[in-house]
Amino acid sequence: MDKLNFAEVFLFSVPEAIAITSIIFGLSGIKIKKIKIFYIGLITGLILYFIRPVISSYILNVIIYTSILILLIILFKLMDFFRAFISTILGISIYLIIEYINVTAIQYFFNIDPTIFLKNYYIRFICFLPQLIFAFIISYLIRKLNLKLFIDD
């Protein structure tokens, strides 16, 4: 994969990690302060800044991303391994579906060549916003409708 410049980390990686982490905690049913979600997103985005250029496989990057999130959730002692594993796998899956639908819709409706995303940061950011907003809406709905995966005793 291409190396991100440091600005891209804060424009893309960190907000994406925050959105995914927010979905994960919504699915887990654990109430957490938003600042902890921000910290996990920030740390994940920064770690991936260094890992992404080394790993060329997309699927391997997703596996490492998932592992990092699970590890951080456990290190912060926010939930047990089983809950972290299941919530993270499903949270990342939801986000990847959102991302796929967003990119496909943009390509279909606006006839944008995917290589432009790599060259033009303005277009890339504008095209990234809908998936980010939709991910936060999904996270909000999961919490609002109490769609948690686990039943607490």
Structure tokens at 136: 């936060």
Query: What local confidence, expressed as pLDDT, does residue 85 receive?
Result: 97
Structure tokens at 53: 């250029």
For the chain, the domain total comes to: 1
Give the domain extent around 62.
Answer: 6-97+135-144
Whether the Cβ atoms of residue 83 and residue 69 lie closer than 8 Å to each other: no
What's the pTM?
Answer: 0.92
**Structure letter (DSSP) for residue 147:** -
Closest CA to 139 of 2, 37, 56: 37
Q: Does the residue 51 lie in any domain?
A: yes
Query: What local confidence, expressed as pLDDT, does residue 123 receive?
Result: 86
Q: How does pLDDT run across 75-128, given as a tens digit for each residue?
A: 999 999 999 999 999 999 999 999 999 999 998 998 887 777 778 888 888 989
Phi-psi domain of 148 (left: phi exceeds 0; alpha: psi -120 through 50; beta: other): beta
Q: Does the residue 35 lie in any domain?
A: yes
Rounded Cα distance between 14 and 86, Å, is 22
Angle (CA) 144 91 37, round 5°: 70
Q: Does the residue 79 lie in any domain?
A: yes
Name residues whose C-beta falls within 8 Å of residue 138's C-beta, 6 or more positions apart in sequence: 23, 94, 98
Q: Does the residue 54 lie in any domain?
A: yes
Q: Does the residue 119 lie in any domain?
A: no
Q: Which of 41-45, 54-58, 94-98 has the lowest mean pLDDT?
A: 54-58
Q: How does pLDDT run across 130-152, given as a tens digit for each residue?
A: 999 999 999 999 999 999 999 87
Q: Does the residue 112 lie in any domain?
A: no
Query: What local confidence, expressed as pLDDT, does residue 3 receive?
Result: 59
